[in-house]
């Protein structure tokens, strides 16, 4: 999987390119001179360090498929409000990555479906091939278009924090047992310490252990019915 940035000068593109500083070969991550139609898209609900995590996943996954990536102006569930725009751009499979925060998973996914229905998108939940609580896949339709989406909720149940976020996964790799707020704890690390944590994920086995829902979402983009 290689990433194609809808905004090549945006913050997410810059953050992923900076992975080069800690030894990641970004030629395995970033698509260059894209001429073919890109039909799959990753939407970041929270921005960073989600973008860096997706860059690392791309480093480890198949380097053939090209996937678009964008961070909309709206955050968290608000990112779903842009879905019709992406469908009109002819994306056929879309992954949304959002933090669980302090919501229950059922409430989070129920709210996601309500937001989609509020903008005129019909949804039918698909069965997933793995038992992952933090993933929901849907077959959707809008006007005369049909498409698939997968919503991935970041967070680790074993992380003792009030709000489950993408930072849960990073702090777990660092061996930091957080009991307050993972995002705040990650922000308190200086840039060198953060880079040291990201460098740990050169170990593919660690990536597969700590990011199962995100890896599933990436593989979902390769098949219509995972």
DSSP 24-61: --GGGTB--S--SPP-EEEEESS-TTHHHHHHHHHHHS
Q: What is the pLDDT of residue 225?
A: 41
Q: What pTM value is reported for the model?
A: 0.94
C-alpha 131/C-alpha 98 separation (Å) is: 19
Residue count (the chain): 226
pLDDT, tens only, 119-136: 999 999 998 877 899 999
Q: What is the pLDDT of residue 201?
A: 98
**Which residue blocks in the chain are alpha helix, DSSP H?**
11-17, 50-60, 83-88, 105-118, 166-174, 182-188, 191-200, 204-210, 212-220
Residue 140 has pLDDT above 70, yes or no: yes
Q: Could you tell me the pLDDT band of residue 224, with boundaries at 50, 70 and 90?
A: very low
**Residue recorded with tokens 């809008």:** 142
Q: What is the mean pLDDT of the chain?
A: 93
Question: Above pLDDT 90, what percent of the chain?
Answer: 84
Q: Could you tell me the pLDDT band of residue 179, with boundaries at 50, 70 and 90?
A: confident
Residue 226 has pLDDT above 50, yes or no: no
C-alpha 98/C-alpha 100 separation (Å) is: 6
Structural domains for the chain: 2-155+204-220 (3.40.50)
Q: What is the pLDDT of residue 42?
A: 98
Q: How far is CA 52 from CA 73, 120, 165, in A?
A: 18, 32, 14
């Amino acid at each position: 999987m290689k990433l194609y940035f809808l905004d090549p000068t945006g913050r997410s593109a810059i953050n992923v390119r900076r992975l080069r500083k800690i030894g990641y070969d970004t030629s395995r991550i970033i698509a260059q001179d894209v001429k073919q139609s890109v039909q799959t898209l990753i939407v970041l609900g929270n921005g960073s360090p989600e973008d860096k995590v997706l860059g690392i996943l791309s480093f480890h996954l198949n380097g053939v498929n090209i996937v678009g990536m964008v961070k909309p102006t709206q955050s968290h569930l608000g990112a779903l409000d842009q879905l019709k725009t992406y469908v009109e751009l002819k994306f056929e499979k879309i992954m949304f990555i959002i933090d669980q925060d302090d919501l229950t998973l059922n409430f989070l996914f129920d709210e996601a479906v309500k937001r989609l229905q509020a903008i005129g998108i019909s949804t039918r939940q698909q069965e997933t091939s793995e038992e992952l609580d933090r993933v929901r896949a849907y077959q959707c339709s809008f006007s005369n278009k049909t498409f698939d989406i997968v919503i991935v909720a970041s967070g680790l149940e074993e992380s003792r924090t009030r709000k489950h976020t993408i930072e849960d996964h990073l702090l777990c790799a660092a061996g930091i047992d957080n009991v307050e707020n993972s995002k705040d704890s990650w922000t308190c690390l200086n840039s060198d310490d953060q880079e040291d944590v990201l460098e740990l994920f050169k170990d593919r086995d660690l990536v597969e252990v700590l990011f199962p829902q995100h890896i599933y979402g990436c593989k979902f983009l390769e098949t219509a019915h995972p």
